Amino acid sequence: MDRPSERIARLGRLTLVGILLVTATACRQDMHDQPRYEPLELSAFFANGMASRPPIEGTIARGQLREDNALYLGKDANDAFLTALPMPVDRPLLERGQQRFDIFCSPCHGRLGDGQGMVVQRGFKKPPSYHTDPLLSQPVGYYYDVMTNGFGVMSSYASQISVEDRWAIAAYIRALQLSQAAPSAGFDSADRQALPSGATEPTAGGATEPPPKEADDADSGGH
Ligand code: HEC
């Protein structure tokens, strides 16, 4: 059996815990709404009423300084379009370019770049073929530029295709162009056998091959 004085003491302890809990909650409330500005909150302090200060004009975020005009604009020091890619061209780059081209460009330009894509067959303006002049003789930097800034009714792809991928596509377009006008001297006899006799039509698979490599330095080491 508890004595009355013990009971009172227990009641007192309980009340104390209760008070502590209430004060603790009040504290939490305070931390929820701290005396600082939320992003884009109204402010009476600044003349334009905005708490968020706009960055100073010309501010560039870390890692976003695009100084390399060749890579980002496709242009050389004289503001002329690059005639060669600003990165080494290898098979993975061309395969990446093929994949991106088939996704982003072939719906209009066709998988051969002849301008006969499905969207065109359904009524969209037909783009020029990559295999005739003046496009054939445009420098590779021009293709990068068209993807970056758009051309006529064709919109820009800068927000959808990364800088590196735009170059990969440009390289693949060069491979496509070569595939449609490949000099037969570059074929070995097995390849020539595989060609349909007298055909000038593009052969299956021809478009997926990268351009033949320039003859490298001869291996002087012997075997
Ligand atoms: C929605 C259809 C469409 C898509 C997708 C498209 N294009 Fe085009 N493209 C066009 C049309 C149409 C033109 C012709 C624009 C004009 O003359 O107004 C064109 C023109 C071009 C030209 C020629 C510019 C010139 O000098 O005549 C190039 C190069 C080109 N596109 C590249 C690409 C590449 C690379 C892609 C993929 C990243 C792509 N396009 C995706 C419709 C498209």
Domains and CATH numbers, the chain: 69-184 (1.10.760.10)
Cβ–ligand 1 contact at 147 (below 6 Å): yes
* Alpha-carbon span 176 to 208, nearest angstrom: 8
> Considering the entire predicted model, what is its pTM?
0.70
Q: 183 C-alpha to center of ligand 1: Å?
A: 27
Instruction: Reply yes or no on whether the pLDDT at 12 is more than 70.
Output: yes
pLDDT of residue 175: 95
Grade residue 27 by pLDDT with cuts at 50, 70 and 90. low
pLDDT of residue 180: 86
Q: Which of these ranges, 36-45, 48-57, 113-122, 212-221, has the smallest mean pLDDT?
A: 212-221
Q: Among 91, 113, 101, 102, which Cα is nearest to 178's? A: 113
pLDDT of residue 72: 96
Cβ–ligand 1 contact at 105 (below 6 Å): yes
Q: Which atom of ligand 1 is nearest to the CA of 120?
A: 2
